[in-house]
Amino acid sequence: MCGIVGYIGSQQAAGIILDGLARLEYRGYDSAGMAICDGEKIRISKSVGRLKVLEELTHNGETMPGCCGIGHTRWATHGEPNTTNAHPHYNTDETIAIVHNGIIENYLALKEMLTKKGYQFQTDTDTEVVAQLLDYYYDGDPMMAITRMLHRVQGSYALGILFAQHPDRLFAVRKNSPLIVGKSPNGYLIASDVPAILKYTRNVFYVDNQEIAVLKQDQLNFYNIDGDEIEKEEVTIEWDANAAEKGGYEHFMLKEMYEQPKTVTDTLLPRIKDGDIVIDELNMTDDELAAVKKIHIVACGSAYHAGVTGKYVIEGMARVPVEVDLASEFRYRNPILEEGAMVVVISQSGETADTLAALRESKERGFKVLAVVNVVGSSIAREADSVLYTWAGPEIAVATTKAYSAQLIAMYLLAMKLAKVRGKIDDVELSAMIEDLKCIPSQIEMLLGNEKRIQRFANRYVGAKDIFFIGRGIDYSIALEGSLKLKEISYVHSEAYAAGELKHGTISLIEEGTLVTAIATQPELYPKTVSNIVQVKARGAFVLAVTTEGNDDIEKNADYVIYIPQTNPYFMNSLAIIPLQMFGYYVSVGKGFDADHPRNLAKSVTVE
């Protein structure tokens, strides 16, 4: 959500900032702006809409000279998306400028206090309060003003700050909202995510909560909230810079779907050694793992759906009870965490606000937390007791595909490890499962080869108003993710139902011509799902069935069938989701939408 880029160095800042913001477009935004200090004044340009408008307004930055600046793409929270509310924001006399990701929770109280002291506000945002509060505390010493401001402000924030009286410095502050500092040969950069600066450097520092970074052209210092200097470790980013480019594909989402075979391979193979599952990152002995009495999986969105799959697989394979919670509900329901429980949090970005809060609450209660994340050095990765990385590389499209597939692999590996140490599967069974997993990348490639057939089918449903997904067991978790993929990028109303619940009310929604996508990959549940297909067909539904090869009899009842290769039933989600991802993508494209940047959505949800 929102994006921050800043630069100070020997080059012109505006072009670098615009380039960095373009690489953060996937995060979602409705306006953009930047502030450049030319050595005397801070000049701001802002616009509503896509970043291209700001580029045209500033002639690609050429009208804003200066070697120090900050930029921002805003996803509106306080105040409608317009030029006035767009970032950056000034203080009253335009000598301080800031950009902000996050939410200032006590901004109304601070605004009231400042108004009584004569300050006038020009915007509806919570962010302007920070600019005016800095002005209130500023007496010529920027660090003093920033540290005093931090002691008053409540909420989440990543801030980039300029002071006109100190044109040789760029300040960055962070609490509960991601922020990194990059070190390049020509200066220093700040950004809210790695892709923004990969073109310029791979050497970064992760800013932790309530820390301040002071950047100069040739110097970098870090301080805590009290202004004491601290040391930070430099980290080298191993991502392939080309992974953040489209590489000839029309959309990042399409490119990332085609990257799933590699993602699965990269996540899987390092954990298979000498015919066994080895997950060194768990930091647990086999005896400790076998002693786990219960697992709580906590996540949001698609990561939650991966967690639902994890529940079915872990319980079925390892016979460990599992609860799955939406992170936004977990801590507010005052969950009961019994002795012997382990908490597993899943997040692509490693910055998801609700998931991070759940992690912190679990740790405060004394429970071990395993994080399944994709971004090395992210907040969740740093704060968890152990991390199982999903090696998907940078995922740019808002709608996840390859990171979700990697999360599934992580769930399978965890389940197999648990099952082995608890004696629920033997070496022969484990070996067979490993061989099935090794086949998944090539099977995904085969399914991706059906692109044209799925595109033709999707074109028939570009005008659909309602589409339903049904399944049982693991197939229900597939239905959840397939439905989400469709609705978030095509804006078609879509719902997923446990197929057995149809007769309890939801079948009343079926009418003549309604598309029902039925997933039927689980052998034990297959006859019951076919029965549900018959029920919706009798009420006029058009049925798209996704099932395994060999289930040819389904053609008697389904109108259109997509067959997927045979694999262990526990792993079916990794294959069945591929045609559903492609279906959602091509409905979106057929409707003329930007599949990478769905309206109202952001890639990384860093506020509650």
* Cβ-proximal residues to 113 (8 Å cutoff; 6+ apart), any chain: none
* Cβ-proximal residues to 566 (8 Å cutoff; 6+ apart), any chain: 548, 549, 550
Catalytic residue among 46, 175, 368, 603: 603
* Cβ-proximal residues to 210 (8 Å cutoff; 6+ apart), any chain: 150, 173, 174, 175, 224, 225
**Strand ranges, E, within 10-128:** 31-37, 42-48, 68-74, 89-90, 96-104
Instruction: Compute the distance between CA of residue 4 and CA of residue 170 in angstroms, rounded to an integer.
Output: 13
Instruction: Compute the distance between CA of residue 554 and CA of residue 517 in angstroms, rounded to an integer.
Output: 13
Instruction: Compute the distance between CA of residue 345 and CA of residue 340 in angstroms, rounded to an integer.
Output: 17
Torsions phi, psi for 102 (to 5 deg): 115, -165
Dihedral over Cα of 382, 383, 387, 392: its sign: negative
Per-residue burial over 531-548, b = 16 or more CB atoms within 10 Å of its CB, e = otherwise:
ebbebbbeeebbbbbbbb
In 3D space, the residue among 483, 581, 476 whose CA is nearest the CA of residue 525 turns out to be 476
Contact 469, 483 (CB under 8 A): yes
**Strand ranges, E, within 258-393:** 272-273, 276-277, 294-299, 322-326, 341-347, 369-373, 386-389
Dihedral over Cα of 284, 285, 288, 291: its sign: positive
The H-or-E segment that residue 128 falls in is: helix 127-137
Catalytic (active site) residue 300: no
Catalytic (active site) residue 603: yes
Instruction: Compute the distance between CA of residue 543 and CA of residue 454 in angstroms, rounded to an integer.
Output: 14
In 3D space, the residue among 335, 360, 364, 365 whose CA is nearest the CA of residue 345 turns out to be 360
Q: 568 by DSSP, 3-state: which?
A: coil
N-terminal to C-terminal alpha carbon distance within the chain: 11
Q: 325 by DSSP, 3-state: which?
A: strand
Dihedral over Cα of 594, 57, 12, 72: its sign: negative
Contact 486, 480 (CB under 8 A): no
What's at 323, amino acid-wise?
A: E
DSSP β-bridge partners for residue 296: 323, 343
Instruction: Compute the distance between CA of residue 529 and CA of residue 544 in angstroms, rounded to an integer.
Output: 13
What's at 157, amino acid-wise?
A: Y
Q: Which residue has the tokens 């800042």?
A: 13
What's at 589, amino acid-wise?
A: V
CA atoms within 13 A on the CB side of 34: 35
Catalytic residue among 2, 37, 67, 300: 2
Q: 123 by DSSP, 3-state: which?
A: coil
Contact 373, 390 (CB under 8 A): yes
Q: Supply the residues annotated as catalytic.
A: 2, 603
